[in-house]
Amino acid sequence: MKSNKVFKVFIAYDTSNLRLVKKIINQTKTTKIKIIPKFGLQFFYSKQGRKFLENFKNNFFLDLKINDIKQTALSAIDSLKDLKKCRYITVHANGGLEMLKAVKKKAAETNKNLKVLGVTVLTSLNNKSLKEIGHTRSVEQLVLKQAGLIKKVGLHGIVLSAKEAKIVKKKYNNLFTVTPGIRLPGDRTDDQARVVTPYDALKINKVNAIVMGRSLIRGNIKNNIKNLIDHLNK
């Protein structure tokens, strides 16, 4: 069934190849869904990446997953003040209450349009992975605990798997939810442990935005975007 809602999709530019980045930008233009580029450590740390983002004319999401002591995290945010079109930045909830509060305040001072998203349990992890690194809570329990911290601090939103989004939405309904680990039906899961389809994330679990990378930027990019739109309109 078709929907009049324009869904928000962050496309993960998991590359340091500037030519490929420009190709993806050119081939993902559409009015059917709202697409915002998401750049991570690979591109940001590359020789040409940082310079490209300084002059980028479109809004973008910078996924650095900042996770350090408070002062270092603040310095990291301050170093982004020349990236005028940066609209979203990620910080790990593991950093703790004081670090998150300080980052939120610094982000507002650095760029009034910059929204801070709190990262919970990575979608590459599962209950076994958490146990291996010393956690006694399940993924679901830990994400819910971190969501409470993110809500308490007043961050703009939360990054979590769509598998936990429903329970978080139920308790913290007004949190902006962003879910990675998204694959079109039939696609390889690669290194992701907790995966759902775009339809299930956006229409069943009612998340606010999804992150997609390899499902869209591998192979025929224009055709992948069409498949995504068709999938969401089924």
pLDDT tens profile 41-63: 999 999 999 999 999 999 999 99
The pTM of the full predicted model, rounded to 2 decimals, is 0.91
CB 193 within 8 A of CB 125: yes
Per-residue model confidence (pLDDT) at position 121? 85
CATH superfamily of 8-232: Aldolase class I (3.20.20.70)
Q: What parts of the chain have a pLDDT lower than 70?
A: 1-4, 188-194
Q: How far apart are CA 32 and CA 194, in angstroms?
A: 27
Q: Which of 32, 65, 151, 203 is catalytic?
A: 65
Q: Note if 81 is an active site residue.
A: no
Per-residue model confidence (pLDDT) at position 36? 97
Residue 104 is encoded by which pair of tokens?
């939120």
For 167, other C-beta atoms within 10 Å of its C-beta total 16
Helix ranges (DSSP H) in the chain: 18-27, 41-44, 49-54, 70-78, 97-110, 127-132, 139-153, 162-171, 198-199, 214-217, 221-232
